[in-house]
Amino acid sequence: MEYAKDVVFNIKYDSDSNIIRLKREGAFKRFLTKLYENKFILTILGLTVVLVVTDTVLVTSFIKILSVLK
């Protein structure tokens, strides 16, 4: 019964300091875990980054071409 409660409530007993602690991940680690679980979101984010970089390169080259034509 006690073990079941520990698993459900994510409790860990720290024997060194004689304290009960919550097993809690950091926010960044939880974010990465969710990201790796959802491959669709990872694909969309990667595609967005690639398209933004491509758009930036194309716009800057277009501005350079326009400045040469003046």
**pLDDT at residue 39 tops 80:** yes
Amino acid at 27: A
Higher pLDDT, 21 or 26: 26
Higher pLDDT, 66 or 25: 66
The pLDDT of 11-40, averaged and rounded, is 73
**pLDDT at residue 60 tops 90:** yes
Name, in order, each residue with C-beta under 8 angstroms of 13's C-beta and a sequence gap of 6 or more.
6, 19, 20, 21
What pLDDT shows up at residue 37? 86
Average pLDDT score over the chain: 80
Residue 65, phi-psi category: left (phi > 0), alpha (psi -120 to 50), beta (remainder): alpha
The pLDDT of 21-27, averaged and rounded, is 69
Phi and psi, residue 2, nearest 5° = -65, -40
